[in-house]
Structure 1
Amino acid sequence: MTLRLLLAGALAVPFLAGCGPDQNEAPTDSAAVEARAIEAQTTRRRTGAEIQERAMSRVIRTVYLCENGERLSVDFDNPRSMATVRNARGEAIDLFQERTADGLWYKASAYELRGKGLMATWTADGAPATTCRAVD
């Protein structure tokens, strides 16, 4: 009987240890809450270099609406230095990044996308150039 009680007590210890207050529980007094909020905001801030590095190491999708009524979806594949332009008809054109002092410039044979900020100029296979604005 004593052995059974010792065995039952030994098995109950791990279960009872979990019954105390949770160490990961959020603080409830206002000073502790404020300190935790400030700490969370401070740790999430990134420098300009970190933001640029993050953008340069991934694919970014942008949608442009053009003056000629065309809607372009552009995937800027920064690691590969290229962009894929898709029009409303589903046609896809791969453009390669060119060096520019400021803004963006991608081209391939008769296609070209140039711009700065939200504005870009799209030239497609003999059609007149059209001005486009990024909407997404």
Structure 2
Amino acid sequence: MKRLLVPALAVLSLAACGRQPAQAPTDGDSVRERAEAAQTARRRTGAEVQDRALNRVIRTVYLCNDGQRLTVDFDNPRQMATVRNSEGGAVDLFQERSADGIWYRASGHDLRGKGSMATWSADGLEPTTCRAVD
């Protein structure tokens, strides 16, 4: 039995010494280069971001100080905005030239803003300050 046991152990020990599978390099420079290449491939240029914003409809929801909730669809190709209030009323506004930020108006309604803040004016109501929530 000793005669069979010794060769069997030799075969098992040789099998355990086989080649290890190749691994990706884990040194700092190589890992950093792969990460930078992946980030660069995903990053959009400023011109690409601006083109996307100017050539599609963007929906923004505003919560106003007077309790109104406004949903605004900015239709940039048509230079219009459709403002819907929480009661279901809707009004189409036309884009006006603004020195800074946004300005849309029509038939006694006015939407002006910059960044996440806007001022909503509706015919016969006091203007209210609104903040974009998404």
TM-score category by the smaller chain? 0.7 to 0.9
Task: State the secondary structure of the residue aligned to 2:88.
Answer: coil
Q: Which has the larger radius of gyration?
A: 2
Rounded Cα–Cα distance in structure 2 between residues aligned with 1:33 and 1:92? 53
Aligned to 1:30: 26
User: Offset at 1:28?
Assistant: 4.4
Aligned to 1:91: 89
Task: State the secondary structure of the residue aligned to 1:63.
Answer: strand
Q: Deviations over 1:65-124 (max 9, x none)?
A: 111100001011111100010100111111110011110000011111001111111011
Rounded Cα–Cα distance in structure 2 between residues aligned with 1:45 and 1:88? 37
Rounded Cα–Cα distance in structure 2 between residues aligned with 1:112 and 1:131? 12
Instruction: Give 1:70's match in structure 2, choosing from 63, 68, 79.
Output: 68
Count of residue pairs brought into register by the alignment: 110
Rounded Cα–Cα distance in structure 2 between residues aligned with 1:48 and 1:74? 24
More displaced stretch, 48-57 vs 69-78: 48-57
Q: Deviations over 1:46-66 (max 9, x none)?
A: 222221111111111111111
Structure 1 runs (4+) greater than 6 angstroms displaced: none
TM-score by length of 1: 0.73
User: Offset at 1:36?
Assistant: 3.9
Q: Deviations over 1:17-69 (max 9, x none)?
A: xxxxxxxxxx8443676544332211111222221111111111111111110
Task: State the secondary structure of the residue aligned to 2:36.
Answer: helix
Instruction: Give 1:124's match in structure 2, choosing from 118, 122, 125.
Output: 122
Q: Percent identity?
A: 68
Task: State the secondary structure of the residue aligned to 1:30.
Answer: coil
Where do residues 1-136 of structure 1 align in structure 2 (5 Å cutoff)?
28-30=24-26, 35-136=33-134
Provide structure 1 residue ranges, at least 5 long, that are not aligned to the other structure: 1-26
Rounded Cα–Cα distance in structure 1 between residues aligned with 2:104 and 2:44? 29
Rounded Cα–Cα distance in structure 2 between residues aligned with 1:40 and 1:55? 24
Provide structure 2 residue ranges, at least 5 long, that are not aligned to the other structure: 1-22
